């Protein structure tokens, strides 16, 4: 075991650099160790399930999610970690050795595995030996050079596989969104190279001919909005945006932040501007729905359900309460509203037993040996405990939606009872 707490003279620059380099080698060696353990876990689980008669197509289901939880990572990355581990252990011993010795970082080893994924096992082993058989050849190579070298070898070994992979990749085109600092957002499009270049060129050309005081980036961003929505970038588009804020923030000038579903917290002043702008715009169809939060914890406990059938109202409440997938470390958007205790085993269709999950996590927890139990923490926060087939448990709690306030215990009980009655 490498001792990371060893003291180094802060004035000895050479020793500090050596310490940084040594710790980097330890990180690479640890990544190799994690890969060995992940591949071994997958093999052991599949062997055990084969003995118990689990169909081949269902063996190993949920292993990637267990690995993600153990690494405090998202389930999507758990799948990549497992695929990476199996490729290294079973097909790419030289890349594994370079990672274990610290010559490669985990990310650069991942790039090599990724670029060789289209090859058959024999060609993949050839690429592995050619690129990583002599570790000294990797010295000084950055991420782009490592990926380019692996891609060049893969193309030489099997050009048809590389071309077929590129054609298949077009089917994976998509658009994603994620929060950015200062109440902004990143809208990302994954496109075939020709389409992506043409879109950028069109936006750039528009920026070249506009001289109205805006920067080039501003013109390109505004033009993108205009061409996608079909209207001026300054004109609101009729799209539903769930904005959650306290009545004090909305009406009394309180500074507690609001929350935009799918984005995250935004400053109170920005939220008020959004609300007042929607109300003042005659083209807007702004609606108001009351949510009831626990006054101490700030967690949602009920929702007004008028003019909605119960299933739809309950699903909306779970979405607003959970914000994103409730599996620990998973920030994916909610796709399923699921029973923590399955319906087939007596689980009720209630907010207490309900969870918002992404599709991957919902299917993963259906594998044998998984158990999810919901409860309310002592501060009245809705919690879920996920127990994996290995017996490890992980918890997640629904995030608070409003700032808690000081209030007596009697008022808490009365408020909760009234809120549940009203819903």
pLDDT of 303 higher than 60: no
Ranges of each domain in the chain: 13-170, 174-229, 243-288, 300-397
- Between CA 26 and CA 33 the distance in angstroms is 10
pLDDT at 241: 65
Q: What tens digit of pLDDT does each residue of 283-293 get?
A: 666 666 666 56
pLDDT at 316: 82
Q: Which residue in 400, 394, 305, 317 sits closest to 352, CA to CA? A: 317
Torsion over CA of 263, 267, 270 and 271, rounded to 10 degrees?
70
- Between CA 349 and CA 127 the distance in angstroms is 53
30 compared with 299, residue with greater pLDDT: 30
Task: Indicate whether this model's pTM tops 0.75.
Answer: no
Tell me how far the alpha carbon of residue 39 is from its chain's centroid. Answer: 23
Q: What tens digit of pLDDT does each residue of 326-364 get?
A: 999 988 888 888 888 887 787 877 888 888 999 889 888
- Between CA 388 and CA 409 the distance in angstroms is 37
- Between CA 395 and CA 240 the distance in angstroms is 31
């Amino acid at each position: 075991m490498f001792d990371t707490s060893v003291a180094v003279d802060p004035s000895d620059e050479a020793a500090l650099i050596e310490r940084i380099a040594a710790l980097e080698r330890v990180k690479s060696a640890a990544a190799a160790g994690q890969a060995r353990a992940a591949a071994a876990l997958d093999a052991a689980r599949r062997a055990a399930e084969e003995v118990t008669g689990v169909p081949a197509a269902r063996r190993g289901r949920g292993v990637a999610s267990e690995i993600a939880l153990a690494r405090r990572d998202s389930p999507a990355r758990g799948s990549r970690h497992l695929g990476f581990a199996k490729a290294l252990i079973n097909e790419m011993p030289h890349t594994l050795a370079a990672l274990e010795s610290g010559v490669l970082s985990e990310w650069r080893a991942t790039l090599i595995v990724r670029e060789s994924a289209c090859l058959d096992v024999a060609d993949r082993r050839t690429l592995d030996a050619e690129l990583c058989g002599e570790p000294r050849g990797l010295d000084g190579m950055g991420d782009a050079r490592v990926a380019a070298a692996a891609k060049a070898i893969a193309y030489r070994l099997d050009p048809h596989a590389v071309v077929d992979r590129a054609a298949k990749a077009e089917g994976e085109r998509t658009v994603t969104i994620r929060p950015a600092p200062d109440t902004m957002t990143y809208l990302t499009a994954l496109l075939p190279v020709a389409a992506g270049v043409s879109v950028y060129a069109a936006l750039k050309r528009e920026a070249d001919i506009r001289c109205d005081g805006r920067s080039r980036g501003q013109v390109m961003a505004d033009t993108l909005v205009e061409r996608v929505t079909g209207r001026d970038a300054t004109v609101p588009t009729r799209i539903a945006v769930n904005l959650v804020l306290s009545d004090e923030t909305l009406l009394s000038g309180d500074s507690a932040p609001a929350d935009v579903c799918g984005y995250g917290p935004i400053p109170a002043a920005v939220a008020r501007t959004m609300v007042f702008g929607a109300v003042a715009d005659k083209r807007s169809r702004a609606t108001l729905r009351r949510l009831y939060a626990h006054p101490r914890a700030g967690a949602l406990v009920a929702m007004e359900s008028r003019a909605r059938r119960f299933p739809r109202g309950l699903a909306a409440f779970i979405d607003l309460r959970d914000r994103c997938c409730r599996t620990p470390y998973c920030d994916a958007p909610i796709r399923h509203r699921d029973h923590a205790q399955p319906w087939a085993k007596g689980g009720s269709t209630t907010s207490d037993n309900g969870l918002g999950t992404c599709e991957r996590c919902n299917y993963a927890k259906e594998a044998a040996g998984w158990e999810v139990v919901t409860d309310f923490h002592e501060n009245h926060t809705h919690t879920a405990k996920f127990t994996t087939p290995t017996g490890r448990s992980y918890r997640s709690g629904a995030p608070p939606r409003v700032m808690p306030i000081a209030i007596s215990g009697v008022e808490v009980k009365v408020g909760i009872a009234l809120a549940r009655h009203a819903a």
